[in-house]
Copies of this chain bind each other. A is one copy, B any other.
Amino acid sequence: MATPDTRTQLLDAAEHLFAEHGYRGTSVRAITTRAGANLAAVGYHFGSKAELMAAVVRRVIEPISAAQRAGLDTVLARTSDPSVGELVEAFAGPLFDRMSAGGEGGARTSRLIVTILSDPAEEARSWTGPGEDTVREGYLAAFARVLPGLSPEELRFRMRGMLAVTAVDRLEVHQQPTPGCTSPVAGEAARRWAVTFLAAAMSAPPAPG
């Protein structure tokens, strides 16, 4: 196994540290030290710390987005009237795959996504690209067809809830669990739980009022 080049080692180290300590909580020095590289390497390969973060996020998000897009295409190719559960599975499933694949990569991914979503830093706005938005718009349209009774606003609220559940889910598993919490659950079980939970939520009739 040839040692990967400096650029890749920086991405790996940064992904670890950003996920664990957040963007502001991670120093460029910590990243380069972990990567076994020189302090100036970040500047040389990425330009700045913010651009390194953007590269890390892109590397993590893009396969997930692609899987979501492919899943939606597959479902819609089979039938023009899919079930809510199928759509939920296609949307939420890819967010669990890294974890199911073994190791703690999934928890790290989850943590990183939460960091992206919740980091109030200015730079965070440019971390995700337009690709993710179009995927979400695609699911939005599909759900809108399947759930005709919902107002666009309420549907958007539910989409956001879906994202929240899948992203935040593993948060307390990876860091220390709430007292009394059992051992970290396997990714496969969490995936089933999430799909069940979210399919029921998405299928609910519109709120009264």
Point out residues on A near B: beta carbons under 8 Å. 20-22, 24-25, 111, 114-115, 117-121, 125, 133, 136-137, 152-154, 156-158, 160-161, 163-165, 167-169, 171-172, 175-176, 178-182, 185, 189-190, 192-201, 203-209
Contact = CB atoms under 8 A, between A and B. Distances in A.
A124 to B, nearest CB: 9
Q: Which 10 A-B pairs have the closest CB atoms?
A: A200-B204, A201-B201, A164-B168, A196-B207, A24-B24, A192-B207, A118-B118, A161-B165, A164-B164, A22-B120
B185 A153 contact: yes
Main secondary structure of the interface of A (DSSP, over half): helix
Contacts of A167: 164, 168
A86 to B, nearest CB: 15
B172 A160 contact: yes
Nearest to A191: B207
B118 A115 contact: yes
* This chain: copies in complex: 2
B25 A182 contact: no
A123 to B, nearest CB: 11
Contact of A197 (B111, B115, B121, B201): B201
B208 A25 contact: no
Contact of A192 (B182, B192, B208): B208
Given A203-B200, A204-B199, A169 B160 contact: yes
14 contacts: A20-B120, A22-B120, A118-B168, A133-B179, A137-B180, A152-B182, A156-B178, A157-B169, A157-B197, A161-B164, A161-B197, A167-B168, A192-B209, A196-B206
